[in-house]
Structure 1
Amino acid sequence: MRHFFLVFLLFTGLVGFTKTDSLLVYNHLSSIPELPTGIISGLVTTADHQPAAFVTISVKGANKFTTTDEQGRFQLSVREGLHTLEISLIGQLTQEKVVEVKKDQTTFLQVSLVQNAKQLEFVTITAQRTLNEKLTTIGKLPVQARDLPQAILVLDKNILEKQQVLTMSDALQNMNGVYIMGTTGGFQEEIAARGYAFGSSNTFKNGARFNNGIKPELSAVEKMEVLKGGNAILYGNVGAGGILNIVTKKPKFEKGGEISFRAGSYAFYKPSIDIYGPVNNGGHVAYRVNASYENAGSFRKGVKSDRIYINPSISYKAGENTEVILEGDYLKDQRTPDYGTGAINYVVAAIPRDRFLNVPWAYNNSTQKTATGTVTHRISNVLGLRGVVSFQQYKNELFSANRPNASGAMVTADGTWTRGLQKTRTAENYYFSSLDLNAKLKTGNIQHTVLAGADADRYRTIATTFKTYANPTTSNKNIYDTINIFDPSGFNKRGDIPLLPEERITTSPILRYGLYAQDLVSLFDNLKVLAGVRYTYQLNQTATVDTLSKNTRGRIASFSNDAFSPKFGIVYQPSKATSLFASYTNSFAVNSGVDIYNNALSPSIIDQFEAGIKNDLFKGALSLNFTAYRIVNSNFAQTALFLADGTTANNNSNIKELSGETTSKGIELDIQTRPVNGFKILAGYSYNDMRYTGVNGNSVNGNKKGDRLRYNPAHTANASVYYTFSKESPLNGVYIGAGAFYIGDRLAGRNPTNSPGNTYKLMPLPDYITADIHAGYSHKNLSLRVKLSNLFDQLSYNAHDDNSVNPIAPRQFAATAAYKF
């Protein structure tokens, strides 16, 4: 437990601050007794029962107010006694509600907005923030998306629930330009944007990184945020395509919850529960617990999965200006590894979609445990602190047949495949802490929104490899059996599970530190400039390699990298509804491994240029954003083909080469509406072209100039429309929806090289479009939602190299019944 809460010691001195003569004076032990307080918590809805965001809730006669969030919820800490709340929003009648607040208790208030008849128009726009008015947690600055010089996407709980999102693949169908680039083994979803993979350095949960080697659980998600493009100034050496943050549901100070049960195709079922409320009906401590269990078969015969998820959290109000949130996250995932249909000479094998090629006893077992603490403290109306500390433990063990076409065991033209075995184990401990200071200041007539902070994280990864299987009947070669992928009758003639002892344990510690500062300067009401810089230092400490069979220990020398990562952007707003922006970022990515001469690799330097326009049209009914970008990555690292002699094939993925330069360029179009007359629309289009644009002159093994990089679709498009029937309709409580998702052609296989005797080829993957339909009905506390996905039963594949070619899921049905209390 000491790992989880160590950083909170930094904040114990922040008991109170007072403001004297415009100076902030630290007041650790105030002699003035604190007056008794309580909590007003509430929910604001529109006339058609939709959550009303951006509604102002103010305490009459006091300088205290707040606004509702995306779910229409608000919370205020006030002194004991009677208070009059004023609820206001443009286009709605201002209402007043008298509330009695008692010491250390929570009073719940529910308000339904009433339209102002004098301001009624033919179009009714539901009270929600536009795409460009939304705030992001991951952006760290308390400003709207319209004021930042980069593309931003936020997907809230309403869409996630209506779409019945189960996996990241489902969610990304509404996040234009962010896509699944692979599903290696069927146990992970590899995310990418703008041609760059989102490794575990690019994926966050509640502001702290999580290991995405396991499919994230989405049942407890409040919203998902994507900051596209370069974000090195905030998070160090992250990939250039963008970052993803998953925000989980937080504790509430009113009692409630939901029990749901989802069932679907291929024996899928998933019960879930969500419970929240105040502790002892007080106004200082609240809790929330989300939990789910999932069990499923698959359209792939012989594939199954089983997972348990628990997400408890506690919120503690340490005063009007300080809040502490403690969150836990436990996920246990057990499933059958599935490397797909295989390929023959870089062509997808023509076998049925449901045919499973792995051994029947194969398993991939993962657990992920996380504890996160967040402290926010408002020092004054213009100054605040936010600290985060997190600890995560990730464990995985895989035992399976090798991938088809891996380790030299190729699938031959007649379908013959010699199956070997593989077994690995990984254990990773990850520690993270950050401290941010936000300030809104003025120098003359110029407004500054300042962020200054520091972060540190540490990885300790223990990778265990096992002895290669040696079959005594095949001269001790790694041959478990031989099958023909076209003839399933011979698949399971052998079913025993060999015992493979541990062979080697590699322990790799990594430390990373960062200092950063940036300022969003409002030079004029319509002109803003963002400027900042980050310093990052990363130390790959000495790694140890213990060979158990020989009782020896080797070492991999430590190495370090550091860099300054600047960011500069400008935002021009010719009107309140339009923002024109341009930005430049420079970042670096540490390259692991060594070159063919056993020297540490130099880092990859990334320059990114981005420009676009953000529009909120028709009084905020429609958001229309356009972005263009260009990303140049020098010294792109890939596994070396040969060792230093130029002829010996390299089988060690840790030995790499800098194959030159890559350039990614493209455009993105995002369209979102607020609910208008019951309709809500989300749509988007993206184009990306990423190629090798330079060959490293120091290597004859570089990829060919002009080659397109693998896995990235040239085009993606998405469109979803939802309609909620009005309160006056006979179908009150019903919504219907439909969505379409397009992924353009991609390349898998292996990039051909300039090396003599090259046999590598690229493997085209067909484009595809899927369509889903949704419907739901809510009455009082009960709701029922149904979904039919891949309506037209389209077939395509996600692939890694030519050895994990996984077909997309066919047409499937799902239904969810829920009860709120």
Structure 2
Amino acid sequence: MSRSMRCRRLAVLSLLVPTALASAIAHAQQAGDDAHALDGVTVIAQRASTATKTDTPLMETPQAISVITSQLFTDRGARNLQETLRYSAGVTADAWGLDTRGDASTIRGLDPVQYLDGMRRLYNFSPMARPEVYGLERVEVVRGPSSVLYGAGATGGIINAISKRPSFRDGGEIGLQLGNFDRKQLQGDVTGQLGDSGNLAGRLVGVIRDSGMQTDEIDDDRIYIAPSITWRGDNSNLTVMASYQRDETASSQQFLPVAATLHAPPGRKLDPGTFLGDKDFDKLDARVASATVLFDHAFNDVVTWHSNLRYIDSKTDFRELFPDTYSNPENPFIDEDGRVLNRLSYGVKPHDRILTADNSLQFDFATGAFRHVLLAGVDYTDFREESSTFSGLATPIDIYNPVSTGVTVPEYTQLPDQRTTQTGVYVQDQIRYADRVSLVLGARRDRAVSETQGLPDQTDNATTYRVGLIGDVGANVSPYVTYTESFLPVPGQDLFGNSFDPMRGHQVETGVKWQPTRNAMFTAALYRITETNRQTNDPDNVLNVVQTGEIESKGIEFEGAYVFDNDFTVTASYSHNEAEVTKSNFAPEVGQRLNDTPQDLASLWLAKGFQLGDDTLLRAGLGGRYVGGTVSTGAASTVRTPGYTLADALLELQMPSWIFSLNVTNLFDKEYFAPCRNFGDCFSGNTRTVVGTFTYRF
């Protein structure tokens, strides 16, 4: 689609979205309530639900958890899910740098599983439209194995994004974003009571974006709309949420050669925005629609029923050209002048349909001096994928004068249909003694069936356990210790038709939490994780995926946040992780650091408000984040990628109805890679991004 056509479509849609919001806006204005729902911002969360599936204070949860509120990730300029995690302890947020293919983050050096509203969203490596951060109210990160409640949980942990929900307080906003790389985004969010009964509330969130990207020739266009409605009764609450999202972009990562980036001779280093594909060939068009139902009913003061249900339908058309650095990583050029590379082509068209259901009963009761929150539930997931693909050799390209036209799209080959179902039964008891000590006990039994067309069904059964203890020893200091396990069925097969084994893991973690005031929270943690059957690249075939034998990850983390009375916010984190391959079918990596995994991460964020008058506030923010260097060990060589330190900044002017904000990430435009690999390719980092937002609130 031409740029002019996209601009015309943006203009039309920019008229449609305000029209769609008009009735809700009118209701909000008529309400005349000075306290708007969108004004209630939070920096330090007190509670989280992801770790226990119950509304539990963080100080009573014996596990390391990070809660990133929308206030924080908006201030820091996050544009996608992985960027919301940049200041979280133990999390390598941009694990593969600038990468539109997905939100690739690691926790404690290991892969997490992505959830949305407490239900799993992603099931394999097939590309799917990434969550829209403007539609989120917070992101919760549980570090370490968490299968007892969720079943499908990776060893790294869980990243659970929480969608915006309707509020019975009226409020709304319309905003316009303008930024470098021709970014233009219109966004709106309206919520409030519907009708006069006091039982219904609605919300409508919408985004329309027309944008370029750091990588030349690539767009970053999006349409997102998410209506929701809530009904509340005397003993029941029902929320129904729907969303539709359409993305038009391409792979921002160009897999630039190490020989022309990290190891380039003087004058031969490629620009991070270099595009080595073909404008008419490369694409990543994704469409995802979902419907979610959240229901709870209190039978009495003791028993409450929770029921969550979601259906996702996702279609993606992804194809790319990328340089063949893999045949000869150290010298991939095919000409004497060292300019021309062969290119490879790859394409995939997955159609995913995902049904998730989770039903549980919560019992709140006391036995003597012990208060119990007992949770017993059953959850079910049904993941189905139909997909076709192609791969092969394409035309070569001069990387220093990258001109490409007339590349034909190969014929797609239908892949075997995939289906994975999983049923889990779980029980958890949170036992609180004297309002000072909490013991968490949990157990779960899973049955997972993986079906691959043309192959025998694969059935995996697993029992996982969890035990944790946390207690207040005085001065709001709470040490804790916990043991957790994970079990993650891996659907699909390798290049040779072999089904994957489930990933298994277990963790021992001990730490301490300190909350000196309501506006402060500090956590320190020590951990050791063992993971088996992790998927990695096949050292003998770049198109294949294998499962290594065993990985051990151990380390220490510190995370803290403090909001002072004079509107001064400080958040900080530091983590040191030693992830090592202890067993593998690839001998050179045994006993070595885990490839592409930094050992040290650190961050600091400062934000201060300055009152300029009765109705005007100036806010300024400055942050720094450090990501340590990585290694990538291959059969012939080891590539070492230096670490990097980046700065982010915020400047915002708040008035009664208007907010003007300027976000700059990578303030000094530092050029870096994240990471470079022994396969001969480098993943470009994010260059400086500048986004100004004009918001009208009512």
Question: TM class by shorter-chain length?
Answer: 0.7 to 0.9
Q: 1:206-244 CA distances to partner (integer Å, 9 max, x unpaired)? A: 122223743321112111111111211111131111111
Is 1:307 the counterpart of 2:222? The answer is yes
Q: 1:681-706 CA distances to partner (integer Å, 9 max, x unpaired)? A: 111111111001245xxx5x445321
Is 1:208 the counterpart of 2:119? The answer is yes
| Aligned pairs, number | 651
Q: Secondary structure at the match of 2:333?
A: coil
Report how far residue 433 of structure 1 moved: 0.2
Q: Secondary structure at the match of 1:219?
A: helix
- Moved segments of 4+, more than 6 Å: 106-109, 127-130, 407-410, 594-599
Report how far residue 522 of structure 1 moved: 2.0
Q: Secondary structure at the match of 1:437?
A: strand
Q: Which amino acid aligns with 1:411?
A: P
Are residues 407 and 391 of structure 1, via their aligned partners in 2, closer, same or farther at CA, if it must alter by over 3 Å? farther
Q: 1:55-97 CA distances to partner (integer Å, 9 max, x unpaired)? A: xxxxxxxxxxxxxxxxxxxxxxxxxxxxxxxxxxxxxxxxxxx
1:338-417 aligned within 5 A: 338-340=252-254, 342-344=256-258, 349=264, 350-361=269-280, 362-406=282-326, 411-412=332-333, 414-417=338-341
Report how far residue 430 of structure 1 moved: 0.6
227-236 or 278-287: which moved more? 278-287
User: In the alignment, is the contact (CA less than 8 A) between 2:129 and 2:245 conserved in 1?
Assistant: no
Are residues 791 and 585 of structure 1, via their aligned partners in 2, closer, same or farther at CA, if it must alter by over 3 Å? same
**Whole-angstrom distance in 2 between the partners of 1:503 and 1:687:** 45
Q: 1:744 aligns with which of 597, 608, 628?
A: 628
**Whole-angstrom distance in 1 between the partners of 2:428 and 2:506:** 18
**Whole-angstrom distance in 2 between the partners of 1:509 and 1:408:** 37
Q: 1:705 aligns with which of 590, 594, 597?
A: 590
Report how far residue 601 of structure 1 moved: 5.2
524-533 or 447-456: which moved more? 524-533
**Whole-angstrom distance in 1 between the partners of 2:171 and 2:291:** 24
Is 1:533 the counterpart of 2:443? The answer is yes
Aligned to 1:159: 72
**Whole-angstrom distance in 2 between the partners of 1:800 and 1:347:** 8
Q: Which amino acid aligns with 1:269?
A: K
592-601 or 513-522: which moved more? 592-601
Is 1:561 the counterpart of 2:561? The answer is no
Aligned to 1:627: 525
**Whole-angstrom distance in 2 between the partners of 1:449 and 1:791:** 47
Is 1:691 the counterpart of 2:580? The answer is yes
Are residues 530 and 499 of structure 1, via their aligned partners in 2, closer, same or farther at CA, if it must alter by over 3 Å? closer
Aligned to 2:173: 258
1:289-688 aligned within 5 A: 289-317=204-232, 319-340=233-254, 342-344=256-258, 349=264, 350-361=269-280, 362-406=282-326, 411-412=332-333, 414-466=338-390, 478-480=393-395, 482-485=396-399, 487-488=400-401, 491-492=402-403, 494-541=404-451, 543-544=452-453, 555-575=454-474, 577-592=476-491, 602-617=501-516, 619-636=517-534, 638=536, 653=544, 656=546, 659-688=548-577
TM-score (norm 2): 0.87
Q: 1:440-480 CA distances to partner (integer Å, 9 max, x unpaired)? A: 211122111111111000110112024x56xxxxxxxx332
Q: 1:382-412 CA distances to partner (integer Å, 9 max, x unpaired)? A: 3311110000112111222145425789722
Report how far residue 710 of structure 1 moved: 1.7
1:93-132 aligned within 5 A: 131=44
Report how far residue 532 of structure 1 moved: 1.1
Q: 1:144-186 CA distances to partner (integer Å, 9 max, x unpaired)? A: 0111110111111222333343223431123222222115753
User: In the alignment, is the contact (CA less than 8 A) between 2:258 and 2:676 conserved in 1?
Assistant: no
User: In the alignment, is the contact (CA less than 8 A) between 1:514 and 1:535 conserved in 2?
Assistant: yes
Q: Which amino acid aligns with 1:277?
A: G
Are residues 220 and 605 of structure 1, via their aligned partners in 2, closer, same or farther at CA, if it must alter by over 3 Å? closer
Q: Secondary structure at the match of 2:253?
A: coil
Q: Which amino acid aligns with 2:653?
A: Y
User: In the alignment, is the contact (CA less than 8 A) between 2:44 and 2:69 conserved in 1?
Assistant: no
**Whole-angstrom distance in 2 between the partners of 1:249 and 1:133:** 18
User: In the alignment, is the contact (CA less than 8 A) between 2:276 and 2:323 conserved in 1?
Assistant: no
**Whole-angstrom distance in 2 between the partners of 1:275 and 1:244:** 26
- List gaps (5 residues or longer) in structure 2: 1-29
Report how far residue 807 of structure 1 moved: 1.9
**Whole-angstrom distance in 1 between the partners of 2:203 and 2:570:** 31
Report how far residue 259 of structure 1 moved: 0.4
User: In the alignment, is the contact (CA less than 8 A) between 2:552 and 2:582 conserved in 1?
Assistant: yes
Are residues 315 and 690 of structure 1, via their aligned partners in 2, closer, same or farther at CA, if it must alter by over 3 Å? same
Are residues 257 and 604 of structure 1, via their aligned partners in 2, closer, same or farther at CA, if it must alter by over 3 Å? closer
Aligned to 1:78: none
Q: 1:558-600 CA distances to partner (integer Å, 9 max, x unpaired)? A: 1111111000111121126111000011223334566999765
Q: 1:757-791 CA distances to partner (integer Å, 9 max, x unpaired)? A: x43x3322221111112111111111111122212
Q: 1:31-50 CA distances to partner (integer Å, 9 max, x unpaired)? A: xxxxxxxxxxxxxxxxxxxx
Report how far residue 344 of structure 1 moved: 4.1
Aligned to 2:3: none
Are residues 600 and 365 of structure 1, via their aligned partners in 2, closer, same or farther at CA, if it must alter by over 3 Å? closer
Q: Which amino acid aligns with 1:429?
A: R
**Whole-angstrom distance in 2 between the partners of 1:614 and 1:255:** 36
User: In the alignment, is the contact (CA less than 8 A) between 1:138 and 1:245 conserved in 2?
Assistant: no
Q: 1:322-375 CA distances to partner (integer Å, 9 max, x unpaired)? A: 111110111111113233352246955521222211122211111111110000
**Whole-angstrom distance in 1 between the partners of 2:476 and 2:43:** 10
Aligned to 2:202: 287
**Whole-angstrom distance in 2 between the partners of 1:455 and 1:376:** 15
User: In the alignment, is the contact (CA less than 8 A) between 2:90 and 2:557 conserved in 1?
Assistant: yes
**Whole-angstrom distance in 2 between the partners of 1:510 and 1:394:** 16
Aligned to 2:14: none
Q: Which amino acid aligns with 1:173?
A: R
Aligned to 1:193: 107
Are residues 246 and 597 of structure 1, via their aligned partners in 2, closer, same or farther at CA, if it must alter by over 3 Å? closer
**Whole-angstrom distance in 1 between the partners of 2:320 and 2:437:** 58
Aligned to 1:819: 696
Larger Rg: 1
How large is the RMSD of aligned CA atoms in angstroms? 2.8
Q: Secondary structure at the match of 1:146?
A: helix
Is 1:716 the counterpart of 2:601? The answer is yes
Aligned to 1:176: 89
Aligned to 2:610: 725
Q: Secondary structure at the match of 2:155?
A: coil
Q: Which amino acid aligns with 1:160?
A: F
Is 1:781 the counterpart of 2:657? The answer is yes
Report how far residue 266 of structure 1 moved: 1.5
Aligned to 1:792: 668
Q: Which has the higher relative contact order, 1 or 2, with Cα contacts under 8 A spaced 6 or more apart? A: 2
Aligned to 2:22: none
**Whole-angstrom distance in 2 between the partners of 1:172 and 1:718:** 11
Report how far residue 527 of structure 1 moved: 2.3
**Whole-angstrom distance in 2 between the partners of 1:597 and 1:504:** 15
**Whole-angstrom distance in 1 between the partners of 2:272 and 2:536:** 32
**Whole-angstrom distance in 1 between the partners of 2:353 and 2:434:** 47
Are residues 425 and 403 of structure 1, via their aligned partners in 2, closer, same or farther at CA, if it must alter by over 3 Å? farther
User: In the alignment, is the contact (CA less than 8 A) between 2:568 and 2:607 conserved in 1?
Assistant: yes
Q: Which amino acid aligns with 1:190?
A: A
- List gaps (5 residues or longer) in structure 1: 1-105, 113-126, 470-477, 545-554, 642-648, 753-757
